[in-house]
Structure 1
């Protein structure tokens, strides 16, 4: 897991751009529930990390920056868990 890059804002915007096949510039700052659901599925597939998010954590994600923070935290947690197993 240590080799996983931390997703930055540009990576999150690129993932969101694939939703609806649109340019990165067309991705809005605020996220709807369908975009967030799609982003999480895309992230889990790309990073091979399963997110276990409760409703409170999902409800707190309203913007691209919120999503970036959430996904970065998931990668960091996966790294920590992987390091603990070795």
Structure 2
């Protein structure tokens, strides 16, 4: 069984910034629906997981810090080989 990856705030900001090829300094604290969809895709690709979230978890991801918290919880819950 391999160790589960940690999701760092800097990584989340960098993934959001890659949408539209922006610098990390241009990423605000709010996460809109387009950024959220992009972020979910990026996380699943980077960490090799499929994440299933409920409406409450999606609602908590309206900020970068909220997204980091939910993603940490979700990836921890995914079984790893």
TM-score by length of 2: 0.87
For residue 27 of structure 1, what is the aligned residue in structure 2? 27
Question: Which residues of structure 1 form unaligned runs of 5+?
Answer: none
Larger radius of gyration: 1
Tell me the distance in 1 between the aligned counterparts of 2:63 and 2:43: 16
Secondary structure in 1 aligned to 2:76?
A: helix
State the number of aligned residues: 81
More helix by share: 1
- 1:5-56 deviation line (CA, Å, top 9, x unaligned): 3011101011111011000000110010110111001101111111111222
CA RMSD of aligned residues (A): 1.6
